[in-house]
Every structure is written in C-alpha cells, then in structure tokens.
Amino acid sequence: MILAIGLAICVVPKNTIAQDTQDWRLQHLPEGAKARFGKGMITGNFASSSDGKRLAVTCSIGIWIYDTETDKPLNLITGYTGWVTNVAFSPDDTLLASASKDSTIGVRDARTGTELWTLQAHEDKITDIAFSPDGKTLASASSDETIRLWDARTGKHLRTLEGHLEGITSLAFNPDGKTLASGSHDKTVRLWDMETGKTLHAFIAHQDKGPAFSPKISDIAFSPDGKLLASTSEDTTARLWDVETRETLHRFRERNGNALSSVAFSPDGKTLAGGSYKTINLWDVQTGRYLRKLEDSINSKRLAFSPDGKTLISGNRYNTVHLLLNVKTGIELRKTITHTQSIGSIAFSPDGKILASGGLDNTVHLWDMQTGKLLQTDNVVERHSLASVAFRPDGKTVAGSGLDKTVFLWDVETGTVGPAPLEGVTEYQPASIGSPGACYVAFSPDGKKLAGTYYKGLLYLWDMQTGKRIRTITLNKQTDEHIDMMHGNSKFTSVTFSPDGSVLAIGCNDNTVRTWDAHTGATLLTLDKHSDTVFSVAFSPDGKILASGSADKTVRFWDAASGELIRTLEEHRGSVNSVAFSPDGKTLASNGGDGTVMLWEVSTGKQLRTLTGHKGSVEVAFSPDGKTLASGSWDGTVLLWDLAVDTMD
C-alpha cells in the first residue's frame, strides 16, 4: 500500500528535472524568483525503489528523488501546479507514477522525469496507487468508491472495479499478479480477480470499535509469497488472513492503544511491522507472538523494509520523511531526510542578513540570506505551532508566539530558546494556526516594548527589560459581547506598531481595524469598512497610511490619523492574510489565499506585478534595502523575489 494524504495537484504541463550537482536553492524557480529556501512540505507518501537505492518523496514543489545511502537528493521532478500526494515505482524501477487529490494520475520515466501521460482518473480524490507485479498495469483507488485499472505505458483505461460502499483507502497486488486486494472505510477488504474484474471475496476485516476509533481499514499488504494478507485499522489492531481459506490466523493489538496506520512484511515474510503513533510494533508471522516495540520519533504513516530486511524505513508528512531503524535492536540508525513544514510567519533581521520563519513544525528557522543555509532550528514545544515571529530592532533576539501558553525568545547568536519571562504570559491558550485566536507579537521600534495579542480579546504590552506588563488593552464590553456571539473567544488577528512607536494597530475578527495610543492605552480609531475578518495590518514607513488585508479578499488603505478610507484594492481571489510596505513606502505587497503575491503602487493603487509560485497561503516581508521580497508559504518554502531589476508591468 502507498499512503495517501489528500492535497491538490493539477495536470502536469511539462517536466523539469535537476541533477545532484546543482544548487537546489536555484533550480526550478518561478519567474521573478531568485532563490528558494526549504525543499517543500511533505504532502503525501514516499516510495522506495525495488533495489532500495532510491526514495521518491512527494512534496509541495514536486517529487524529490533521494539516494538512500547518502540521503542526498538525486533529482527533483517539477512542473506540477499543485501538491503531489501519491507516488509509486514500477517493479523494474523504470516508471514513476503519481496521483493527486484533484483526481489526476500520471506516469513518468523514473530516471529522466519525462512525462509519459497524465489524465483525469476519478470523480473524487485518489487515495492510493499501485503497480501490478509485471509493471504493465497501474491501479488507482479513490474516495469515489471505485478502483480503476490503467495501461501503465499508455494511460488507456482498462477496467473499473466497483463494490465498496465507502471510499477506498488502500491497495495491494498479490505477488502472483492474479489478485488485487483493497481496503475501505466500509470496514471491508475485497479480493478482486485481475482477469475478470470480479470480486473473489469480501469480508469484514475489523470490527472492534472504541470511543475514539472506528474499524475502517487503514492499510493492507500481501506477504512475499502471496499466501497471507495483513490489514491494519484505526481500531488499534492488525489482522493476518489466509488468502486461500479467508480465515483469520492472528489478531494483533497495538500495545499502547493507538490506531495502526501502516503495515509491512519483512522480505522473508517472517515478521510483520505495524506503524502507529511514535511506535512500530513487530510480530512473528508464524506464531503471532509479539516480538518487540521500536520507538519512532514520528507518527509512522508509511513503512518499508530494506531489501535485506535489517532496517525499517518509516515516515509521515510532518517534516521527517523517514527514519532508519535497526529491526533487531530498535536503535535509530539515523534520522535522514527532513523537510520544512508550513510557514506561518517570516521576518527579516534589521541588517537583512537573516530571515526568520516560524511554522507548523514547532520550530523557528533562521536562514542565512547569502547562502540559504539554516543557522538555527530550534523546537518550541511539542505539538504547538508558531503563529508569529518578530526580530527585536537590535537584531539579537527573535520573539515567537505560538498556539500554546507562552511566548518564546531566541538568542540569534547562540540559538538558545526559552519561554519569555513576561508577566501574565501563561494565560495564553491554544488556538488553530491562521485562526483569529492565534497569538501574535510585535516589538516597538526602540525594542523596549513587546506587544502580544491574547485570545480573549486582550492586548498585552510588556517592558522587555523587566518583563512586567505595562498595560492591558481590551475591546469595550458591548463590542466584546458582539464578537463572542459571532466568533467565540477569538478576537485579535494581528498587531503592529507605528514607525514612531506611538500607535498600536490591530486587526480584529469583528471585521474592524482598531488603533490605540501606545503610551496611554486610549482608543483612537475604529475602521469598519471591511466585510470579513481583518487578518493583517501594516503602517507605511512615514506612519501616514495604514494598510489592512481581509478575508473579504480586499486590501484597504486608511489615513492613519483620521481613519478616512483612502483606497480599496479588489484584485485578490482569496483571503488577504498578509500586507507589507516596502522600505521607501512606494510599494505594498499583499498575498491572496490562492498563493499569489501582488505588488501595488501605493500612491495610485495600480497593480504593478503578480508573483506566482506558491501553493498555499503566503506571508510577505521586504528586505531592509527593499531589493528583495520574501514570501513564506504553507507549502513549506520561502521564495526570494528580485525587486532590484525593474520587471514591473
């Protein structure tokens, strides 16, 4: 079975491929971009070649091919306009198949990346793909409850298999090529005759159901000799079946009570591995005896034995692609390929030499702008994500606020990280990344104060020397009740200081922009022309204009002193989550929920340029010299756009 995680992909227009001697930061860039930091977020499964020498990994910018001995990238296959979710090598390793949530599948030459065919395959997202043992047929499973068979060389549709009552989760060919097995949300496993397309047998594979689990099938696998079939389920069990008699031979229970999401036989067929949350369970196939537990630092969504059976490869879509674990000892040999996850915030250091990014992998990344190398990567807190990062004006400290109960401070030089000793900061509560409940921070221009939003509709202002709370700013009771009714306890979405530090501006989920006197806490303005949540606010360098981006797909310019609406920009096709002024104040950058970034002439509102290349929501920031625009995306990459050359429309 090949694990699928549903994310979108579009038909591949052409192939592009890089070689291992190239600088990957500079390859396959969208027009106008000069570099890319990060290899893209893992968006689906991985697949090992039959000889175990290559590993194909799906990500937001294409498919990476890695050397499993060195962990170095061999190729990057690009040209996809969306996120690839499934990948599989043909048995002879000459073909590479890919699939996607938008129901397209395609086959390429595994060595060159040359596209052979790509087509619309299903009416719903594709959940798994698998080659037949002779490599001539490609099977695809879908949430549309069907399995479709294709000629792997031409893409010709051969047959559609129907019978499951709910979406199909997994596929596996019997090594003899005569039978195909499928698992489904309908709790059944079906065996199909490949010659006739008829169901040979259908049985309820899992029936256990606890308070937090359902018995839907998560993965299936045939033993190397084809005589046994294993299945795993969210009901925390794995089952072993006799293919000929259809009898249950063994029933295995996950020792920690976690759902089992993956299963694999060792090459000799003597051991069965079942992956769950941070644990891989090993059982003796013949006796059903529990052998041992392998501690895995990630949630194993995919398992594969090395050809010699001595090591296990595991992986998931969260940052780490796979680990090599010694099957006998359980010792982690090495944590190999890692990718950056979704980026929720970016910020330049005052000298422009470092770019900080924070995201869903619980880390802050400090990138060297000259080399693109990671200077520091520090974990924040387990299972919490960063919603905001900000450099202190002296460039020595980065503040980050997450979806947990605290604010963290990084020492840029040493990379050390720890909770900020700020009064009242433990009152922070978890929220969803990107939601109005997420916490955001901003330093005052002199670096002496730190502002942080609080999920109950409060803004805290702290003295950075003492950590004491200087002031708490809140919405008035009438408005507060109105927001409670509409949006629960989520109130603020962004915060920024005016260039002189005298005014605080905040975006709110009651569709308003609000400003306060930073010294006294007095309410100054309430700007209410937006028709949906305001996600981002920014002052122009001279402090005269306040820009706001909203879920209503607009950017608005306001007179910062009077609150008068100056201009509305309406070209975005999705929610505007980020706005930023260039250092000279002449240009505004804004992002759309469709992954695009637009550049605007501030004085006229004229659209100057549209930057395309991301596949997810984007955060933007100008370098201090104004020559570079950085865009960090939920696709797990940062793109650097060259603004020094006049390429404006």
Tell which residue, 33, 18, 142, has the closest CA to residue 86. 142
**What distance in Å separates the CA atoms of residue 420 and residue 408, rounded to the nearest whole number?**
5
Q: pLDDT at position 12, please?
A: 33
**Using alpha carbons only, what angle is made at residue 176 by residues 173 and 178, rounded to the nearest 5 degrees?**
70
pLDDT digits (tens, 9 = 90+) for 520-546: 989 999 999 999 999 999 999 999 999
**What distance in Å separates the CA atoms of residue 364 and residue 415, rounded to the nearest whole number?**
10
Give the residue carrying structure tokens 């770019």. Answer: 355
**What distance in Å separates the CA atoms of residue 602 and residue 586, rounded to the nearest whole number?**
5
Sign of CA dihedral 57, 59, 64, 68: negative
pLDDT at 9 over 90: no
| Confidence band for 264, pLDDT divided at 50, 70 and 90 | very high
What average pLDDT does this structure show over 140-168?
Answer: 95
pLDDT digits (tens, 9 = 90+) for 70-115: 888 888 888 776 688 899 999 999 999 999 877 889 999 998 889 9
Q: pLDDT at position 517, please?
A: 94
Q: What's the chain's average pLDDT?
A: 83
Q: pLDDT at position 455, please?
A: 57
| Confidence band for 645, pLDDT divided at 50, 70 and 90 | low
Q: pLDDT at position 386, please?
A: 65
What average pLDDT does this structure show over 475-498?
Answer: 57
pLDDT at 20 over 60: no
Q: pLDDT at position 325, please?
A: 64
**Using alpha carbons only, what angle is made at residue 313 by residues 310 and 315, rounded to the nearest 5 degrees?**
165
Q: pLDDT at position 503, please?
A: 97
What average pLDDT does this structure show over 57-76?
Answer: 86
Q: Report how far apart, in Å, the C-alpha atoms of 360 and of each of 166, 344, 356, 357, 379 are.
A: 31, 7, 14, 10, 11
Please answer whether residues 490 and 509 qualify as being in contact, where contact means their C-beta atoms are separated by less than 8 angstroms: yes
| Confidence band for 553, pLDDT divided at 50, 70 and 90 | very high
**In sequence order, which ranges of 242-285 are alpha helices (DSSP H)?**
none
**What distance in Å separates the CA atoms of residue 508 and residue 495, rounded to the nearest whole number?**
9
Q: Is the pTM of this model over 0.85?
A: no
pLDDT at 299 over 60: no
Of 15-29, 273-287, 349-363, 505-519, give the lowest mean pLDDT range.
15-29
pLDDT digits (tens, 9 = 90+) for 322-341: 556 677 776 666 556 667 77
Token pair recorded at residue 359: 């995201």
What average pLDDT does this structure show over 574-603?
Answer: 94
* Helix or strand (DSSP H, E) at 260: none
